[in-house]
Structure 1
Amino acid sequence: MKRPAASRRTRSRTNGDRTVYQCKGGRWEAAGYVLAPGTTRRRVRVYGTTRRRVRVYGTTRKEALAKLTEKTAASNKGVPAPSAQGSVAAYLTSWLETVAVHRLRETTHTRYTACVRLYLLPGLGRKKLAKLTAKDVRTWLNHLRTTCQCCTRGLDARRDEARCCAVGTCCHKRLSPLTLAYVHSVLKSALGHAVREEETPRNVARNVRMGTPRPRRFEPLTAVEARAFLAATHGHRLHALFELALRTGLSKGEFLGLRWEDLDLAGGTASIRRTLQRTRTGGLTALPTKTQNSERRIALRTECLRSLTQHRNRQAREREAAGTGWKATGYVFTRPDGSPIEGATLTRHFNTLLRRAALRRIRFHDLRHSAATLLLEQGVELVVIKKLLGHAHIGVTATVHAHVRLRLQRDAIDLLGNALRNPAEITGKPDDEPPLCAAVVR
């Protein structure tokens, strides 16, 4: 016998259609295909694109369909569904160990690791990477901005003598705007890699706006102060280093990483090829320059050549006095036994010379700012200062290292005043000359 024909013929679903049904527990499940990233477990070829099946749940059929519609709408716009299922803490840990360690210098990687350990993991570590939103990042940053770090990180409990929350009076030790901007940049860098790996559809940290932090205010040495400082360095065993600092604007690591093979005293030049920095694993280590533009050759004045010649003779006498205990490192500026100089040791010598010259206390890096400002005051063009300091972009030279003093501002205002002055006030006669014709700009 033939079976009776069904009163309603059900349409067979094609590949890619959505499925909605009610589970045994009472909640509704909706399933469909969305655009998949490169690292997915289940892939289905649909119309020549790589897609995977996703499932969403809701208390009602309408809620489950709405969630699935949101995912398919994003998929139709070309946004792949996130594949990361772990927490932010797991991703950041993996990113530091497998990605950032190969892309960053060791000193930068150490700062990134400390930033993740102190701020990112306690604040956002428990959240799912796929569900992290811009609101979560903004709320976390506002919390960092307003809370005392002694209370949050338990610093007061580890002190020998409590002086913050443990005694009932908070010291309100908050993070500076520069530190907040740095923490935000670390998170943006990490999430940017997650977007490139298609583990998350967007970089939510980039959508959070941070106010531009004010740069640190400081006053570089004037020409009078620079001459007083150079006079105080005469007789010091590192006199050549401090003279180079004011006359060339090299950084501390570039000074300490300078070798005798990099100097051409006959030609009056120095080649900057490396920096000497202390790393967590290797101690004092010679590293490549920060950027390609930092590797450069600079010209040396006669005073610098004379100081370097005297320094080489002094080092030869120290090598003879040390005998077999001399460490042949090849560096220009060393300790009396030939070993490299620590950055902290150089800072101590610098502070001693500042007190001897009766000058205000500044950082050693401020000598680099002072050299740039003094060059600018002498009328040297910014592009020349950029090449001398080894900056990658001229904007860094203009905004960071070249500080316009009041004297230059007064000179500029005087020039503008002369241009705007009425010619009749200068000659006492009316200006009979016809105005210049404006050229047509095409």
Structure 2
Amino acid sequence: MTTPRDTPASRRTRANGDGTVYQRKDRRWEAAGYVLAPSNTRKRVRVYGGSRTEALAKLTEKIANSNRGLPVPSAQGTLAAYLTYWLENVAVHHLRETTHTRYTTCINRFLIPGLGKKKLTKLTAKDVRTWLNQLRTTCQCCARGIDSGREEPRCCAVGTCCGKRLSPLTLTYIHSVLKSALEHAVREEEIPRNVARNVRTGTPRPRRFEPLTADEARQFLASAQGHRLHALFELALHTGLRKGELLGLRWEDLALDTGTAAIRRTLQRTTAGGLTTLPTKTRASERRIALPTRCLHSLKHYHEQQQREREAAGTKWQHSGHVFTTSQGRPIDPTNLTRTFTTLLRKAGLRRIRFHDLRHSTATLLLEQGIELVVIKELLGHAHIGVTATVYAHVRLRLQRDAIDTLSNALGSPETTATASGDGDEPQPCAPLVR
């Protein structure tokens, strides 16, 4: 009578559901068993190993994942093939065109050259982390051949690396695109888990911006006084509207009698359609705002000016319905508006800033006047008040000094407070409430 110990290893009986394991003719070990597959079906899988223990360990892991409800991966192609499929069949229907263009550039420029040859099912968190670390320390002139394409090489091609590396914000963006693509692969049960989520890239420092002070804002508006788009720049500084929201405004969105404006759309240049009117950036960006009296006067004056330009253009006038147009009625290209803005800054003798910094200037100046954060959030169209608090956490030094002086006066003795308020030629500034 034979016992299990006397039975050869390749012929030992395993319990029902544990699968089978045996040694092949090529001396390798093969284990096979049924696991959960997509569409809630069962599928027989085979794994191989150099020893019986190794093959059993691989099969046990797959069966354990199946018992936890994780289906066996069905994708067999490379990461490059899946990213191309995801861009063309999934992302194109869920992303704005401009966002889809940025995703495509990111995938074609970084992800496919770096990780594209990896099998989708074999991609690990270690692969992603190693590649991101390499990308962080690699000069882009060397990696992408930028210097070799220049008429006069000045970097790697001449033996002097400029060290042009990707910023932490760009690395975080690349990582987020990979996470989004793999997350959809998990939902389609192509892979059991999103390995990119297990990689930490760190929180990059927010981009520093230098908004205009109150004096600089007045200086800029005075310089733009005679310009045909003076009403646009005045509206931008008083309301904090985005560039696309300003250019996407239509006369039907303005209620000059009641002094309100409905923000419903944005104007952007896309690769496929050129200048295109799109929905607002987020659902919270679709809002109704109040217009100050100064902006109402400027808009009425601009409307009269536009009517005169329409009569002068005659048949060349192209009616678009937009508030701010060219002298022939066409929508204004965002790039041309940026050039005009830079010219006005130079004319006013001010430092060069981005057009978007006018929006930051509006929020910062409102904060300095003690306006509630929730009011600024509604005016700017942020989805959550946490976004407003995070972006404008660094207030001006004067606002911080006013707050500290107010607290110092409150904690001082009555005699000290009275003396402090009576000294000096200027009265103590009235600090806004710090909430």
Give the TM-score of the pair, scaled to structure 1: 0.90
Partner of 1:196: 187
Are the structure 2 counterparts of residues 255 and 62 from structure 1 closer, same or farther at C-alpha, using a change threshold of 3 Å? same
Who is 1:321 aligned against?
A: 312
**Structure 2: runs of 5+ lacking an equivalent:** 5-10, 420-435
Q: Does 1:347 align with 2:348?
A: no
Give the structure 2 partner of residue 35 of structure 1.
Answer: 36
Q: CA deviation at 1:84?
A: 1.4
Q: Give the secondary-structure state (helix, strand or coil) at the position aligned to 1:74.
A: helix
* SS of equivalent residue, structure 2 residue 284: coil
* TM-fit CA distance, 1:321: 0.9
Shift of 1:325: 0.7
Provide the secondary structure at the position in 1 that maps to 2:324: coil
Q: 2 CA distance for matches of 1:135 and 1:266?
A: 62
The answer as to 2:228 corresponding to 1:237 is yes
How far does residue 80 in structure 1 lie from its aligned partner after superposition? 2.3
Task: State the alpha-carbon separation in 2 of the partners of residues 148 and 279 from structure 1.
Answer: 30
Query: Hey, what does 2:361 align to over in structure 1?
Result: 370
Match of 2:395 among 404, 407, 414: 404
Change (3 A) 1:426 1:114: closer
For residue 293 of structure 1, give the secondary structure of its aligned residue in structure 2. helix
Q: State the alpha-carbon separation in 2 of the partners of residues 340 and 252 from structure 1.
A: 13
CA distance in 2 between partners of 1:255 and 1:19 (Å)? 68
Describe the SS at the equivalent of 1:102. Answer: helix
SS in 2 for 1:258: coil
C-alpha displacement at 1:66, in angstroms?
1.6
| Aligned residues of 1:373 and 1:403 also touching (Cα < 8 A) | no
2:109 corresponding residue in structure 1:
118
**Residue by residue, what CA displacement relative to the aligned partner does 1:36-71 show, whole Å, maximum 9, x if unpaired?**
233xxxxxxxxxx63321100112222211211122
Instruction: Name the structure 2 match of 1:72.
Output: 63
Matched to 1:290, the amino acid is: K
Q: Which residue of 2 aligns with 1:175?
A: 166
Q: Per the alignment, in what secondary structure is the counterpart of residue 53 of structure 1?
A: strand
Q: Which residue type is aligned with residue 22 of structure 2?
A: Y
Give, as a single letter, the amino acid of the residue that structure 2 aligns with 1:174: R
Label 1:132 to 1:11 Cα distance change in 2 as closer, same or farther (>3 A): closer
Q: Count the aligned residue pairs.
A: 413
Query: One-letter code of the match for 1:392?
Result: A
- 8 Å Cα contact 2:409-2:417 kept in structure 1: no
Alignment-mate amino acid for residue 311 of structure 1: Y
1:337 pairs, out of 322, 328, 338, with 328
Partner of 1:153: 144
Give the SS at the match of 2:41: strand
In 1: Cα distance, 2:417 partner to 2:91 partner: 66
8 Å CA contact retained: 1:368, 1:401: no
Question: Contact (CA 8 Å) 1:133, 1:204: kept in 2 or not?
Answer: yes
Which letter does structure 1 place at the counterpart of 2:36?
Answer: L
Q: 1:414 aligns with which of 405, 418, 427?
A: 405
1:273 aligns with 264
The verdict on how the C-alpha distance between 1:27 and 1:397 changes in structure 2, with shifts beyond 3 A counting, is: same
Q: Which moved more, 1:50-59 or 1:245-254?
A: 50-59
What is the distance in 2 between the residues matched to 1:211 and 1:177?
Answer: 9
Q: Distance in 2 between matches of 1:427 and 1:119?
A: 64
Task: Give the structure-2-normalised TM-score.
Answer: 0.91
CA contact (8 A) 2:249 2:324 kept: yes
Selected match of 1:285 from 273, 276, 285: 276
Deviation at 1:32, TM superposition (A): 0.8
Structure 1, unaligned stretches of length 5 or more? 1-5, 39-48, 429-442
